[in-house]
Amino acid sequence: MRRALQLASLGAGRTSPNPLVGALVLDAAGVLVGEGYHAAAGQAHAELGALAQAGERARGGTLVVTLEPCCHHGRTPPCCDAVIAAGVARVVLAMQDPNPLVAGGGSRRLRQAGIEVIEAVLAAEARALNAAFLQRLATGRPLAILKWAMSLDGRTALPNGVSQWISAAPAREQVHRLRAGVDAVIIGGGTLRADDPLLTSRGRRQPEPLRVVFSRRLELPASARLWQTDVAPTLVAHGPEAGPEARQRLARLAAAHPGLEVLALPQGTPAALLEALAARGCNQVLWECGPQLAAAALQQQCVQRVIAVIAPKLLGGQPARTPLGDLGLERLDQLPAWLPTAPRRVGPDLVWELNLPAAFGVH
């Protein structure tokens, strides 16, 4: 099963809306005869790859798979049928598929076909691997990471707005890697106007994650690197509070940049945006936004992990540009219980992660 989990992780960042799945087949004598993993949505499921590799040697053998085989018709036919047809004697699973279309139905079907099914092997590890997928199924929203870079005195820019660069090249490269593991990167209109960011993984993820501008006023620049959608897809999302003039501005912008996608949300809130992104199949997203949007996202439980890059610099400033706006807190003994990881040095900078403990999966 550890090997199957390793295989599963090879698909990281490319399987959404599907989970990461790995599988292997042992023949009747216990010899490894096939391996597979789910490489991308629309491509073969892990079990099928492993069974295809094993061929006739699967008969009477064991299928080890990190997730319960599906029993429903999705983009691909049900895997259970293929498992039964392959003639394996035993299936070892790490966890049930939480998809309500499966949810134990796969295991039942296999048992009905006379196959021995052993469940919950390395279940915690499997849940941790698919924390983002589980988060989306449990809450209808993707697992969301909030990331910022700041000086040691908690500043995200100089008083005059200069912010490039606070962190050094190694930490900025690590942010590119972080983007390669998510399905969408979200900023607000202010960050777009201030930084004109590229927001890509610099080719580490293909296709690049969806770049999302979440704007209330839709006062967006006519020219921006995000409008070049040949590099990566871009979506502009707004709520119903955007007035007719703002929508006209956006329509003109979209007409000038045919690749640009526009999404009108039922509400102009971080929660509504994440629900829309989940519906589009995003399992995991990254907030790289300014303080007001970041604070709103935190207040709406739209952040499960915070990653702060801390540069050994002192920027000062009055008033201060800081990572977060008002969270509405009034007491220090009622803060959410964020769990810190061990801090890491990345070049000259320090990276510290906080995670919210979650009932439905280890983040």
* Residues at the interface with a second copy (CB under 8 A): 150, 152-155, 158-160, 162-166, 291-292, 295, 298, 306, 308, 310, 312-320, 322-332, 335-336, 338-340, 342-343, 345, 348, 350, 352, 354
Whose Cβ is closer to a second copy: residue 124's or residue 152's?
152
The helix (run of H) or strand (run of E) holding residue 278 is helix 270-279
Told to judge if 119 belongs to the known catalytic residues of this protein, a careful annotator would answer no
Whose Cβ is closer to a second copy: residue 98's or residue 291's?
291
Task: Give yes or no for a cis peptide into 348 (omega within 30° of 0).
Answer: no
Whose Cβ is closer to a second copy: residue 13's or residue 188's?
188
Within the chain, what is the greatest distance between any pair of CA atoms?
Answer: 72
Residue 92 CA to residue 24 CA, distance in Å, equals 10
Whose Cβ is closer to a second copy: residue 207's or residue 340's?
340
Q: How far is the CB of 303 from a second copy (least distance, A)?
A: 9
Q: How far is the CB of 183 from a second copy (least distance, A)?
A: 24
**Annotated catalytic residue, options 35, 47, 208, 275:** 47
Q: How far is the CB of 93 from a second copy (least distance, A)?
A: 36
* Total length of the chain: 363
Backbone conformation region of residue 63, classed left if phi is above 0, alpha if psi is from -120 to 50, else beta: beta
Tell me whether residue 15 is exposed, middle or buried, using C-beta atoms within 10 angstroms of its C-beta: 0 to 12, 13 to 18, 19 or more. buried
Instruction: Name the β-bridge partners of 339.
Output: 355
Both tokens assigned to 4: 């199957």
Whose Cβ is closer to a second copy: residue 113's or residue 350's?
350
Main-chain phi, psi angles of 181, to 5 degrees? -95, 0
Q: How far is the CB of 197 from a second copy (least distance, A)?
A: 16
Q: How far is the CB of 285 from a second copy (least distance, A)?
A: 19
23 to each of 14, 19, 47, 48, 135, how far by Cα in Å? Answer: 17, 13, 5, 9, 22
Q: Which residues are catalytic?
A: 47
